[in-house]
Amino acid sequence: MGYYDDHMRSDKQKRSWLMPTIIGALLGAVLILLSLPILVQANLLPYELSEETQESTQSTPSGDGENKQINVELNSQITEVVENVSNTVVGVVNIKQQSIFGQSESQQGGVGSGVVYKQAGDSAYIVTNFHVIQGADSVEVVFSDEEQVEAEVIGGDVYTDLAVLKIDAQHIDQVIELGSSDNLKVGEPVLAIGNPLGLQFAGSVTQGIISGKDRLIPQDFNGDGNIDWQSEVIQTDAAINPGNSGGALVNMDGQLIGINSMKYASTELEGLGFAIPIDIARPLIEDLEEDGSVTRAYMGVEIFSLSDVPQYHWQNTLNLPNDVEHGVIVDGVERMSPADQAGLEQYDVIVKMGDTEIRNVLELRQYLFTEVGPGDEVTVSFYRDGELQETTITLVAQSN
């Protein structure tokens, strides 16, 4: 009897939990089926979807009713830009003549890049970096089909690292469209096109973004340790290597927004490239094209910074007041120059040009090169024998 009672109790227990289990499983399955679309849309599933599911989620319409496939569209846009502008980027070869056993022989002095930016009549014009063609006895342009053409150097400018070349227009098929660098935004995608490491990698394309604007890079042209100039450049993380100098930095509309320059880079840095903004380059290119040089204001003085002189001479030689700590010393005045006609003399200490304080040679040079031009009249404030004086100087064009 005891065994029979135990068996009956066991059978009743099975029936008591079997039905709820079945009902719970059915309810769970229904809940999963109902919640699956929500989980898919929220991307909360711990596994990848099947091909059919992926296709359906990628084609989900946006609010404006258009299908958004950003990666595909961006890659397609890059490909289109490269196809449209790559032929406007050329190789630039610096040729030097060397004498070997009494005979002159041409040797390649270096390779950079250039951009065909203009065609006028029978001539086509190419912009490149000045340091690419500096010291060349002749310059050759190399096209994507490996055709080589000798180019005429119209002019160059060491301060902005720009140079303009001219070739016969019959060798070019298209010119690049000039854009604007003033309205660039940090994070905007860009492409760098050029010839890194030489012509064997001609037409190389790297992709990046605008990393920064209005960057100032100090330049020491004569190697004396003093800053001669500060170049305003665009910073990008698009790879720019030796040979890219003079190449194109373009936006996603295929417009030229900068001239790449390896001169401002360093082998110790990575992901840090620089380009000359096209809105700064444009008027300088026009000057080079028309005159062979950049027209800048000229005073006619030999100068050095007050900070380069031992402080002993500040009071004992120059008789400067104790509160004068910055300025530019006039070391020499060219006869019949604007400075000479304005009455400036040796050992005058210039502290102001117009309304701009002048603290050193760099600031005076940048004021003359960027703030004023030939023909402008400027009030010069200076100390002579301890007294603050003023004179008016009429600037002229710097002679070539």
Looking only at the bridges linking them, the beta strands covering 162-168 and 177-178 are unpaired
Residue at which a domain ends, from 35, 55, 75:
55
Q: Please state, for a pLDDT cut of 90, what percent of the chain lies above it.
A: 55
> Is the predicted pLDDT of residue 12 greater than 60, yes or no?
no
Residue 251 burial (CB count, 10 A):
19
Q: Are 172 and 142 in contact (CB under 8 A)?
A: no
Residues 185 and 276 in one domain: yes
**Cα(230)–Cα(64) distance, rounded to whole angstroms?**
48
Tokens found for residue 31: 């809940």
**Cα(378)–Cα(365) distance, rounded to whole angstroms?**
14
329-368 pLDDT per residue, tens: 999 999 999 999 999 999 999 999 999 999 999 999 999 9
> Is the predicted pLDDT of residue 201 greater than 90, yes or no?
no
Could you tell me the CATH number of the domain that includes residue 227? 2.40.10.10
Whether residue 62 is contained in a domain is answered as: no
Q: How far is CA 59 from CA 34, 53, 70, in A?
A: 22, 10, 12
Residue 197 burial (CB count, 10 A):
12
Residue 35: per-residue pLDDT: 61
Q: Are 193 and 203 in contact (CB under 8 A)?
A: yes
Residues 187 and 286 in one domain: yes
> Is the predicted pLDDT of residue 17 greater than 60, yes or no?
no
106-116 pLDDT per residue, tens: 666 688 999 99
182-211: average pLDDT = 86
Whether residue 78 is contained in a domain is answered as: no
Whether residue 74 is contained in a domain is answered as: no
Residue 202: per-residue pLDDT: 73
Residue 3: per-residue pLDDT: 37
68-88: average pLDDT = 78
Q: Are 179 and 236 in contact (CB under 8 A)?
A: no
Residue at which a domain ends, from 260, 291, 322:
291
Whether residue 260 is contained in a domain is answered as: yes
pLDDT category at 4 given cuts 50, 70, 90 is very low
Helix axes 2-41, 51-58, angle to 10 degrees: 40
Least confident span in 105-109, 179-183, 191-195, 320-324:
105-109
Residue 345 domain boundaries: 297-397
What are the two backbone dihedrals, phi and then psi, of residue 346, each rounded to the nearest 5 degrees?
-60, 140
- Catalytically active residues, by annotation: 131, 161, 245
Whether residue 77 is contained in a domain is answered as: no
Helix or strand holding residue 4 (H, E): helix 2-41
Could you tell me the CATH number of the domain that includes residue 342? 2.30.42.10
Residue 6: per-residue pLDDT: 40
Whether residue 64 is contained in a domain is answered as: no
Q: Are 252 and 81 in contact (CB under 8 A)?
A: yes
What are the two backbone dihedrals, phi and then psi, of residue 83, each rounded to the nearest 5 degrees?
-60, -35
Higher per-residue pLDDT: 263 or 375: 375
Residue at which a domain ends, from 55, 77, 99:
55
Q: Are 240 and 197 in contact (CB under 8 A)?
A: no
133-160: average pLDDT = 92
What is the tally of structural domains in the chain? 4
pLDDT category at 28 given cuts 50, 70, 90 is low
Residues 184 and 281 in one domain: yes
